[in-house]
């Protein structure tokens, strides 16, 4: 059992979080502080440092899965992250994606369930290139290592738009067992035209489709 997360966001906007620019670090730190604020009313200077002080790295305040200031600095500059800090580093990526994307969708599934969905779509006339598993074919090309069992990939916004049309046309013929997930994804994909138009209006990159799987 695992979760497939879909994000409508420009691939360069994801890659941008690893460039180490002042603007990127400032934004990422602001998001992180709002999500994991320092402990209130600390009794010591160590407590005042909070999870986002670099000096807190390796100190008792460091917690599994909660980013520290050093984690943030390493991720933002595309440096290697120690295996025991990967979950915290990916928490920052999740935060960035969640705050940057135009929309997201999560589906709980199994390998067999994903295969059944793609098979049902194929029988309904959806070309193989628009299957759910095909979203993982092209690497997102970011420097952060994957967690055990994790997979990540993306397709272009134009591919996502074509995928939306193919899934929508096939829905009436999709098997009842896989229809709920197919309908959820098709409905979500159907918003790509609006997201793309809005992105152009505000001067942001058109959204691509980033897929992330975690067991």
Return d(Cα 172, Cα 157) in angstroms, integer: 24
- Overall domain count for the chain: 1
* 21's tokens: 């620019």
Place of tokens 């993982």: 136
Rounded to two decimals, the pTM is: 0.89
Q: Are strands 2-9 and 103-109 parallel, antiparallel or unpaired?
A: antiparallel
The full DSSP string for 143-199 is SSPPPTT-EEEEE-HHHHHHHHHHHHHHGGGS-TTTHHHHHHHHHHHTTHHHHHHHH
* 215's tokens: 């067991």
Domain interval for residue 146: 2-214
CB 32 within 8 A of CB 72: yes
In order of 24, 73, 95, 155, 207, the CA distances from 30 in angstroms are 10, 13, 11, 29, 23
CB 60 within 8 A of CB 37: no
3-state secondary structure of 108: strand
pLDDT given for residue 56 in this prediction: 42
pLDDT in tens, the chain (215 residues): 999 999 999 999 999 999 999 999 999 999 999 999 876 544 544 444 455 544 444 443 566 789 999 999 999 999 999 999 999 999 999 999 999 999 999 999 999 999 999 999 999 999 999 999 999 999 999 999 999 999 999 999 999 999 999 999 999 999 999 999 999 999 999 999 999 999 999 999 999 999 999 99
pLDDT given for residue 38 in this prediction: 78
């Amino acid at each position: 059992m695992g979760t497939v997360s879909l994000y409508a966001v420009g691939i360069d906007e994801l890659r941008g979080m690893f460039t180490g620019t002042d603007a990127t670090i400032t934004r990422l730190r602001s998001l992180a502080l709002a999500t994991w604020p320092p402990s209130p009313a600390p009794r010591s200077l160590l407590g005042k440092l909070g999870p986002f002080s670099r000096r807190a790295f390796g100190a008792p305040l460091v917690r599994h899965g909660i980013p520290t200031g050093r984690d943030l600095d390493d991720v933002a500059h595309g440096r290697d992250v120690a295996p025991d800090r990967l979950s915290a580093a990916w928490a920052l990526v999740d935060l960035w994606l969640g705050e940057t994307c135009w929309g997201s969708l999560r589906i709980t599934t199994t390998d067999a369930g994903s295969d059944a969905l793609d098979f049902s779509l194929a029988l309904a006339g959806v070309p193989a290139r628009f299957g759910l598993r095909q979203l993982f074919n092209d690497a997102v090309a970011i420097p952060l290592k994957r967690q055990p069992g994790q997979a990540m990939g993306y397709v272009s916004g134009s591919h996502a738009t074509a995928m939306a049309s193919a899934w929508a046309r096939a829905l009436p013929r999709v098997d009842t067992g896989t229809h709920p997930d197919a309908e959820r994804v098709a409905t979500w994909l159907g918003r790509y035209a609006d997201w793309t138009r809005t992105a152009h209006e505000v001067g942001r990159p058109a959204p691509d489709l980033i897929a992330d799987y975690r067991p």
